[in-house]
Homo-oligomer: A and B are copies of this chain.
Amino acid sequence: MADERLTDIKVLAFDVFGTVVDWHGSITREVEAMQLDVDAQRFALAWREGYKPAMKRVSDGLQGWTKIDALHRQILDELLPSFGLSDLNEAQRFHLNLAWHRLDPWPDTVAGLTRLKRRYVLTTLSNGNVSLLVDLARHGGLPWDCVLSAETFRCYKPHPATYLGVAQLLDVAPEQVMLVAAHHEDLEAAAACGLRTAYVERPLEYGPAQSKDVSPRASHTLHARHLLHLAELLGA
């Protein structure tokens, strides 16, 4: 904590998909559990691939405000034919879509958050909608002080209103908030708003078959292997 950029941090805001929970492993398991005749890992990746373009349609104003649950469902409905799964019925689609509410935390998540909570206010800052984030917290026992979402601000990250909105609602200056994420783009947008940033390596985010470059970048305030390592770096 000799680093003066760290001494005044009051709030840790967490990206969720990939950073706190393992979407790839969880979606893969859910697809396998439904015994669909499909490569579950490839299906999980394809579903997730539709995520950024779908949010971009909303951010660009081509589609009115739409929560992630509805975007996930749009992507799913578009995806199923290309996987030969057009005959999934409504109940199956509904169930599968809610798999995003049942994502498991990474093994270090709960222990890491619990340690960090002793010293910092912990909030989510996720593009996932509020009900999804609440379900994930109950499912995984995530000890948030506060659940903030793109839905709270009605715009998606990386829009500045999301990062600055966290500071405003929690009544701190932007530089008193540290965004914790496994994605450079998210962290860079937060840094541009004056937030501190912590990159968390999640080498398995896209599954064991796909490699992810988790090498440090100088632009981030901190580089942590996982959330217990982040607690250590922050002296929490």
> A108 in the interface, Cβ–Cβ < 8 Å?
no
Given A69-B171, A171-B69, A171-B129, are A134 and B146 neighbors across the interface (CB < 8 Å)? Answer: yes
A170 near B121 with CB under 8 A, answer no
Q: Does A32 contact B (CB under 8 A)?
A: no
CB atoms of B145 and A169 under 8 A apart: no
A5 within 8 A of partner (CB): no
Residue in contact with A134 in the complex, picked from B137, B138, B170, CB distance below 8 Å: B170
**Does A54 interact with chain B (Cβ within 8 Å)?**
no
A138 CB to closest chain B CB, in angstroms?
A: 6
Structural contact, A145 and B134, CB atoms closer than 8 A: yes
| CA distance in complex: A169, B138 (Å) | 16
Contact with B along A168-192 (1 / 0, CB 8 A): 0111100000000000000000000
Whether A131 and B69, one on each chain, are in contact in the complex, defined by CB atoms closer than 8 angstroms, is no
For the side of the interface on A, what is the size category?
Answer: 10 to 19
Tell me which of B69, B131, B134, B170 contacts A130 (CB under 8 A).
B170
Given A121-B134, A121-B138, A134-B121, does the pair A169, B146 have CB atoms closer than 8 Å?
no
Q: Encode A119-148 as 1/0 by CB contact (under 8 A) with B.
A: 001000000011100100110000001110
Tell whether, in the assembled complex, residue A130 and residue B146 are in contact, meaning their CB atoms are under 8 Å apart.
Answer: yes
Q: Which of A129, A130, A151, A172 has the most CB of B within 10 A?
A: A130
Cα distance, A121 to B145, chains bound together (Å) = 15
Chain B: CB-nearest residue to A151: B169
Q: Is the CB of A152 closer than 8 A to any CB of chain B?
A: yes
CB distance from A141 to the nearest CB of B (A): 11
Q: Using a CB–CB distance below 8 Å, which chain A residues touch chain B?
A: 69, 121, 129-131, 134, 137-138, 145-147, 151-152, 169-172
6 tightest CB-CB pairs across the interface, nearest first? A131-B171, A130-B169, A146-B147, A134-B145, A131-B170, A134-B146
A-B contact pairs, 17 of them (CB 8 A): A69-B171, A121-B138, A130-B169, A130-B170, A130-B171, A131-B169, A131-B170, A131-B171, A131-B172, A134-B145, A134-B146, A137-B145, A138-B145, A145-B147, A146-B147, A147-B147, A151-B169
